[in-house]
Amino acid sequence: MIPYSKFTKIAVFGVILSACTPPATVEFNGHSVKIRTSSNLASDKQAALVEAQNICGKVGKRAEYASTTYVHDLNIQHLFLCI
């Protein structure tokens, strides 16, 4: 059995917890939407796209991926254009 320190257990729990965070809309102006995720995994990218499609759909448009930005506190923002 490998001994784990208290710090290791807390760090692992934090990673698991952050993977469960749903995407959040950061900014929307009718022409573009920024969606924040906690990782850049394919599942989070897909969840961000779904969220962007929902937001852009409210103004009769569809979302198209534009870029990804890594934010200072380990969050990731995906920019989608509403076209």
- Partners of 67 in beta bridges: 79
Q: What is the pLDDT of residue 75?
A: 87
Mean per-residue pLDDT, 9-17 = 49
Element (H, E) at 44: helix 42-57
The model's pTM is 0.74
Cα distance between residue 44 and residue 75, in whole Å: 11
Q: What is the pLDDT of residue 83?
A: 97
Contact in structure between 37 and 44 (CB atoms under 8 Å): yes
Contact in structure between 78 and 37 (CB atoms under 8 Å): yes
| Sheet order of strands, 24-28 included | 24-28, 32-37, 76-82, 63-70
Q: How confident is the model at residue 11 (pLDDT cuts 50, 70, 90)?
A: very low
Q: What is the pLDDT of residue 37?
A: 94
pLDDT tens digits for 19-77? 567 899 999 999 999 999 998 899 999 999 999 999 999 999 999 999 999 987 778 99
E-assigned strands of 1-83?
A: 24-28, 32-37, 63-70, 76-82
